[in-house]
Amino acid sequence: MTERELLIAGLRELGVAECPSAADNLLRYSEILREKNKVMNLTAITDPTEIVTRHFLDCAALAPYMPQDGRVLDVGTGAGFPGIPLKIAFPEVEVVLLDSLNKRVKFLNEVIGQLGLSKITAIHGRAEDFARQKEYREQFDLVVSRAVANLSSLSEYCLPYVKVGGRFVSYKSGKLSEELTAAGKAIHVLGGEAKEPVYFQLTGTEDERSFVCIEKGKATPKKYPRKAGTPAKEPIQ
């Protein structure tokens, strides 16, 4: 099976509506990523087939959480995951990509330009700082993150961006009962309510993944997020 066939079949299996340009844009994104990765550390996954399964289809697994339209924020996007594949698969949504490393943001803007994507922007900065700006605070229907961090810290980074009635979804792996218990106070204080984790096997692989979905029931207190660096060093407990 070619990368294109695997991608199209995987998207269909995940319930993503077929968009004529989606496969073309994703495969072009893979080419740009692999070429840039030769001079810049963007991804440890460089095999074209694994980019389809472990990046693109992994990102598209968020399909059940995607709003019909509205705004999506990807916190700690890195090389653009999951934000760029989500934008390609769901062209009607507006996507904002946030990363703390400027050279990655420059790469993201190159991808956006080369693929001709619209209603998507990449911004450079720390999550703790942008969450205090009124144009970003509690302005998103969905906030997502594949970043590696404990759930308490991630919740403080992400929940301040979520509209009341919106969702924060975090990618995780392994069993989550202990991490969810440890993050319980933070999630509650920040205005969220955690739902039961969703466990799934990544399409085309034996990898087991999970989503934690946190629904925003009330506004996040103004004192959160705390200053840059504090959520990681001193998680709410």
**Each residue's pLDDT tens digit, 12-26:** 999 898 777 899 999
pLDDT tens digits for range 168-201: 999 998 778 889 999 999 999 999 999 999 998 8
Residue ranges of the chain with per-residue pLDDT less than 70: none
Strand partners, 209: 200
Q: What is the pLDDT of residue 64?
A: 95
pLDDT over 70, % of the chain? 100
Nearest residue to 80 (alpha-carbon basis) of 141, 28, 11: 28
Task: Round to whole Å and give the CA distance between 75 and 145.
Answer: 5
Query: Which pTM was predicted?
Result: 0.95
Q: What is the DSSP letter of 63?
A: G
**Local structure of 126: helix, strand or coil:** coil
Helix ranges (H only) for the chain are 3-13, 22-36, 48-50, 58-60, 83-89, 102-115, 127-130, 151-158, 177-189, 230-233
Topology at the third CATH level for domain 68-233: Rossmann fold (3.40.50)
Q: Where are the domains of the chain?
A: 68-233
Is there a contact between 118 and 149 (Cβ–Cβ < 8 Å)?
Answer: no
